Structures are given as C-alpha cells and as structure tokens.
C-alpha cells in the first residue's frame, strides 16, 4: 500500500503545484500513461520538483493518458514547440538506431546495470538525441516487459506462433517478435485496450505498471513473466527549446530529472510485486516463461542489429560487459 499512497500524494501535490500561475514561463509535459501508471508518477514527481524549486521561473503542467497525442505525435509536437516535454520509451529506437540497443532482449539485467550503462554511454544517447533535434533532460523507465494474451500461456518462444501481438512503434521490437514466431502489430498504446477487447489483437507486452493501469487484466486471460526487454524512458524536450532556456533553468530541470530518476526506480521496484498480485487477483492466469529458451532464440536479433547498425557490436559488448561488472 505504501507505493499507492505515495502515488496519490504525488498526484495531489502536483495538482496543487500546477495551480500556481506567477511563473515566468509555463511548460507542458505530455505522456501516454494512464492514472496510476509509473509514467504518471514520474511526470508528476518531475513537475512537483520543478514547481517547488523554480516557483517564480517555471510552471510545469502535466497531461497524461495521451491527451496531447500518442508518442509519435508528441515527438513531432516537441519540435513544433506545441508542447515542451514528453516521456517516450521504445519509440526512441525509431528516432535513432543507437536507442535500438535497449530493444535487444535480456541485455539489461537490473536497474543498477542500467545506471552503469547510463554513466558509461549517456554521451552516445545524448548525441543521438541532439542529432535528431531533441535533448534528454534525464532518464526514467518503462520497466521490464512481460507478455499478456488470450490464446495460451507463453512458456517458450514457440508458444507465440501466430499470436497477434501489439508492439510499440519500434523496428527492433517488431523484428524480435517476428523471430519468435509471433504476428507483431505496431499500435499506439491508447488503442490497445479496445483492440484487445474486440479481438483485433490477441495480446500485448508491457511492464506490470502499464498493464495494470491500462486495465488490460480485464481483457486478457494469460500473463507470462518473460522480462524480455527493459525499456528506459526519456524525459525529453527539443534541443532548440532547451538551448533557448537560461542556464539556471537548464540546471534546475536537469537536477529535477536526476531526482525523479531515483524516485522512479524506487517506485517501480515497489510497484512490481503489488501490481503482479493485482493482475493475478483479477483472474489472469500467470506463468513464468523459460528465460533460457528466450535468450537462445534471441541470438539472431543480436546478429541482425550488429550487422545492420554501425557500431552496434561495440555497443552490445559494452552493455553486456557492464552487466557482468555489477
């Protein structure tokens, strides 16, 4: 219950903070997360930090549940200065191939591993973002992803054969599930519940926080704990916007993003056990997949990434090495 209390408190505080209107500038932060999601908790925590630490300079307003568009639309709106921040995750692999490293199955093993990757390689991802007109203010997470569906429990990759599975709009996730034998279908997150309910798709893959907050447990029979991909999330703005801000505002935003990362990691870890039980209690049948079989079936996607993306093998080796050094 601790995590739920904290989420409610964060939402309430952020709601009060955004009523302040004496700031020099107002900024809009959009995301796709539903109420109760980790994305909402992250955005509200960041907004609360900004609003309390830069009261006279910045008022941060948050808009969840895809109010400002889906991830692809919000990326475009950042560049058009129609909004100021978004919280993309998997879709960043369609912005630049460098972000595809996080689409490799089982490459990130823990949040501590992710922090080591961030410390060692953040300049690579910041340059990739900058080259495409964006600036990463900080990292959060979407989390470790698992598969739900209405066809059968997924124990082995072969169990995915023919399953119509929603994926985010990221090329490597699509290729990964094709390799496993599924029928992956890219789709905006906001459309997934209805597509599951009507049988347009059989299943989807997301962290518990997204599954539970979107109420997928109401329209899914099986949850298979695969943990196949860990996806970071990015507190993202446009490079043009960030560069135009006074240095003290840049520093304040960056500091709040760093604080929010700590909050997000702690909250995400707490949510995992709480929300798995919530999904089970809704009547969803839960099984733990054969992780070794999935890792073995993932080798071709690593090879394809290494063959097709410049510098990919070096990135793979670095990330895997950092996983062993913890």
Quote the pLDDT of residue 7.
56
Question: What pLDDT does 14 receive?
Answer: 45
Q: Could you tell me which residue, 212 or 18, shows the higher pLDDT?
A: 212
pLDDT of residue 13: 45
pLDDT in tens, 113-168: 999 999 999 999 999 999 999 999 999 999 999 999 999 999 999 999 999 999 99
Rounded to a whole number of angstroms, the CA Rg of the chain reads: 19
Q: Quick check: 15 pLDDT over 90?
A: no
Identify the helix (H) or strand (E) that includes residue 166: strand 164-167
Asked if pLDDT for residue 1 goes beyond 60, the answer is no
- Residue 232 has which token pair? 């970071």
Q: What is the largest CA-CA distance in the chain?
A: 58
d(CA 90, CA 54): 30
Query: How far apart are alpha carbons 162 and 181 in whole angstroms?
Result: 7
Nearest C-alpha neighbor of 320 from the set 165, 50, 101: 101
pLDDT of residue 170: 85
Answer for the pair 76, 294: CB distance below 8 angstroms, yes or no.
no
DSSP state, residue 218: G
pTM to 2 decimal places: 0.91
User: What's the rounded Cα separation, in Å, for the pair 168 and 180?
Assistant: 16
Q: In what order do the strands lie in the sheet with 285-288?
A: 183-186, 164-167, 203-206, 146-149, 222-225, 285-288
Our CA dihedral for 165, 148, 303, 326, rounded to 10 degrees, sits at: 150
Average pLDDT for 22-27: 90
Contact assessment for residue 38 and residue 64, using Cβ atoms and an 8 Å cutoff: no
The Cα 85–Cα 238 span in angstroms is 8
326 pLDDT band, cuts 50/70/90, is low
pLDDT one-digit tens code per residue, 230-257: 999 999 999 999 999 999 999 999 999 9
Phi and psi dihedrals of 173, rounded to 5?
Answer: -65, -40
């Amino acid at each position: 219950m601790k995590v739920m209390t904290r989420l409610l408190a964060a939402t309430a505080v952020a709601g009060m903070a955004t009523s302040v209107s004496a700031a020099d500038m107002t900024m809009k932060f959009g995301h796709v997360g539903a109420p109760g999601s980790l994305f909402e908790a992250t955005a509200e925590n960041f907004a609360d930090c900004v609003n309390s630490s830069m009261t006279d300079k910045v008022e941060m307003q948050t808009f969840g549940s895809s109010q400002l568009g889906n991830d692809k639309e919000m990326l475009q709106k950042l560049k058009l200065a129609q909004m100021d921040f978004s919280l993309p995750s998997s879709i960043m692999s369609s912005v630049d191939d460098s972000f595809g490293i996080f689409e490799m199955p089982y490459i990130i093993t823990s949040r501590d591993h992710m922090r080591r990757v961030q410390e060692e390689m953040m300049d690579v991802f910041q340059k990739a973002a900058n080259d495409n007109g964006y600036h990463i203010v900080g990292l959060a997470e979407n989390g470790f992803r698992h598969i739900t569906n209405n066809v059968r429990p997924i124990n082995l990759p072969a169990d995915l054969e023919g399953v119509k599975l929603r994926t985010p709009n990221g090329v490597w996730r699509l290729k990964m599930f094709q390799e496993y034998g599924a029928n992956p279908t890219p789709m905006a997150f906001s459309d997934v519940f209805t597509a599951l309910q009507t049988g347009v798709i059989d299943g989807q893959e997301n962290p518990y926080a997204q599954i539970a907050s979107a109420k997928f447990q109401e329209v899914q029979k099986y949850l298979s704990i695969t943990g196949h991909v860990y996806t970071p999330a990015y507190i993202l703005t446009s490079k043009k916007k960030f560069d135009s801000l006074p240095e003290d505002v840049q520093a304040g935003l960056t500091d709040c993003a760093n604080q929010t990362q700590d909050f997000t990691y702690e909250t995400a870890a707490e949510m995992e056990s709480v929300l798995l039980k919530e999904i089970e209690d809704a009547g969803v049948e839960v099984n733990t997949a054969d992780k070794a079989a999935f890792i073995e079936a993932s080798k071709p996607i690593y090879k394809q990434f290494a063959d097709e993306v410049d510098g990919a093998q070096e990135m793979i080796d670095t990330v895997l090495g950092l996983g062993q050094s913890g």
